[in-house]
Amino acid sequence: MDDLDRNILTLLGADARMSVATLARRLKVARSTIQARLERLETSGIIAGYTLKLGEAARQGRLRASVLLTIEPRSQAAILTRLKGIGEVERVFTTSGRFDLLLQVAASNTQVLDSVLDQIGALTGVKSSESLIHLSTRLDRAV
Query: What are the two backbone dihedrals, phi and then psi, of residue 12, each rounded to the nearest 5 degrees?
Result: -70, -30
In whole angstroms, give the CA distance from residue 89 to residue 103: 7
In whole angstroms, give the CA distance from residue 95 to residue 101: 6
* Residue 94 pLDDT: 96
- 100, pLDDT greater than 70: yes
Q: Name the helix (H) or strand (E) containing 133.
A: strand 126-133
- 60, pLDDT greater than 80: no
* Residue 56 pLDDT: 67
Reported pTM: 0.67
Is residue 104 a contact partner of residue 91, using CB atoms and an 8 Å limit? Answer: yes
Percent of the chain at pLDDT > 90 equals: 80
In whole angstroms, give the CA distance from residue 82 to residue 22: 45
* Residue 13 pLDDT: 85
Query: What are the two backbone dihedrals, phi and then psi, of residue 106, each rounded to the nearest 5 degrees?
Result: -135, 135
Report which residue type is found at 131.
Answer: S
